[in-house]
């Protein structure tokens, strides 16, 4: 069971109804790391949940930085001095020997292309990145697109563009389905937005020594496993993605209990095309996709449940990197899906992560001429 807000040790509810995770406990002692008396290194990145309201997001034109790398004579030159190990044949590369804070704009363009092609890059030894200030995080993300501001999650004080995940021995601010046998669910981040994210950067500032891995899958490889006739049918379909359940989760008092922007529902193609690589990818997920437009309920449920189950059980498309300290993972949210693994609850340790989430284009149908607004 999740801890209720009233039980959380480090929360206060001031008159502004702003929820804030404070660096001190209610008995006045300082919050320290789990195993020593050092102050927590990333106290400036702890989540707050202000009650302010955001207006609806507006459309914008996304120019993908990966396009610029396509014409580069060596679009992988940012990896010239790196060690690159493919995590699985179809998804993910683990990289050492690159310091992300040193990448210039040209290298960041190359990074975007490499992420689009491999789905997921896991960079080790990135303490300089983690220790950067929030303004650096914003500038990093803005190279790749307009930064998404999450409607319900916690963020560092003054930096709503930085989405935080947070769980410790007393509470959780994550989207965890306590009445499910498996309390986390496969998804592409905020796929309900008209322009869902593209290149997404995520890192853990504190993590358990074991547990709390993230599972990723390639929605491109998943599609390639299906028979041509079925894929041809899927290309004709479009589905509704909804943020309502996520908003209602917060309105029920969980996860900071704030909804700063009204939830939206948008229609996306079931099979989308990556603008840079041209890869086709399944773009539905159990967390946010509610139904297929124009089909009877049972038909929609049957197809979606097949695809959701396909995502979940295709271990030959999945990568499961471990969150060693100072790791930064970067994935392309358009062609991958992921889920947290909540296997460390009983360890009663802190897991604190930050996500920088640039939005990308409105999903492009793999089927030319598929109309999304009808």
* Residues of this chain that bind Fe ion (CB under 5 A): 189
Q: Which is nearer to Fe ion, 78 or 137 (CB)?
A: 137
Rounded to whole angstroms, how far apart are CA atoms 297 and 35? 52
Distance CA 274, CA 366 (A): 9
Q: Considering beta carbons, is residue 189 or 193 the nearer one to Fe ion?
A: 189
**How many CA atoms lie within 13 Å of 51's alpha carbon, on the beta-carbon side?**
10
Q: Which residues pair with 265 in a beta bridge?
A: 242
Let me know if 175 is exposed, middle or buried by CB neighbors in 10 A (0-12, 13-18, 19+): buried
Distance of closest approach, residue 343 Cβ to Fe ion, in angstroms:
17
CB of 342 to Fe ion, least distance (A): 13
Token pair for 370: 């598929």
Shortest distance in whole angstroms from residue 187 CB to Fe ion:
6
User: Least Å distance between CB 209 and Fe ion?
Assistant: 22
Min dist. Cβ of residue 188 to Fe ion (A): 8
Nearer to Fe ion, 40 or 186 (CB): 186
How far, in Å, CA of 231 to CA of 305, rounded?
16
Residue closest to Fe ion, measured at CB = 189
| DSSP secondary structure string for all residues of 240-288 | EEE-HHHHHHHHTT-TTS---S---EEEEESEEE-TTT--EEE---TTT
Q: Which is nearer to Fe ion, 214 or 221 (CB)?
A: 214
Nearer to Fe ion, 189 or 280 (CB): 189
d(CA 96, CA 125): 7
């Amino acid at each position: 069971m999740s801890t209720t807000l009233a039980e959380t040790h480090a929360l206060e509810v001031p008159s502004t109804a702003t929820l804030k995770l404070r660096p001190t406990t209610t008995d006045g002692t300082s919050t320290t790391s789990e195993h020593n008396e050092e102050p927590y290194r990333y106290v400036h990145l702890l989540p707050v949940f202000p009650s302010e309201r955001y207006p609806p997001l507006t459309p914008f034109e996304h120019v993908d930085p990966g396009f610029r790398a396509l014409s580069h004579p060596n679009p992988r030159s940012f990896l010239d001095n790196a060690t690159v190990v493919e995590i699985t044949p179809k998804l993910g590369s683990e990289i050492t020997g690159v310091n992300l804070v040193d990448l210039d704009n040209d290298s960041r363009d190359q990074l975007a292309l490499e992420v689009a092609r491999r789905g997921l890059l896991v960079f080790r030894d990135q303490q300089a990145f983690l220790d950067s200030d929030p303004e650096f995080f914003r500038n990093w993300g803005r190279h790749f697109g307009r930064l998404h501001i999450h409607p319900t999650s916690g963020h560092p004080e003054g930096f709503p563009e930085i989405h935080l995940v947070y769980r410790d021995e007393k509470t959780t601010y994550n989207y965890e389905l306590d009445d499910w046998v498996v309390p986390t669910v496969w998804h592409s981040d905020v796929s309900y937005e008209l322009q869902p994210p593209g290149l997404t950067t995520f890192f853990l500032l504190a993590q358990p020594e074991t547990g709390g891995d993230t599972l990723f899958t390639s929605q491109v490889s998943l599609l390639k496993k299906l028979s041509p006739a079925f894929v041809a049918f899927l290309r004709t379909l479009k589905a509704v993605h909804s943020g309502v359940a996520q908003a209602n989760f917060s309105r029920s008092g969980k996860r900071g209990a704030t909804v700063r922007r009204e939830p939206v529902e948008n229609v996306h193609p079931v099979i989308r095309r990556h603008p840079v690589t041209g890869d086709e990818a399944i773009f539905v997920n159990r967390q946010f996709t509610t139904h297929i437009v124009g089909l009877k309920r049972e038909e929609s449920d049957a197809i979606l449940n097949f695809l959701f189950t396909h995502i979940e059980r295709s271990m030959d498309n999945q990568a499961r990197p471990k969150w060693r300290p100072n790791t930064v993972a970067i994935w392309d949210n358009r062609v991958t899906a992921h889920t947290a693994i909540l296997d460390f609850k009983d360890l009663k340790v802190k897991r604190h992560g930050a996500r920088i989430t640039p939005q990308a284009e409105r999903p492009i149908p793999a089927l030319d001429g598929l109309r999304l607004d009808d």
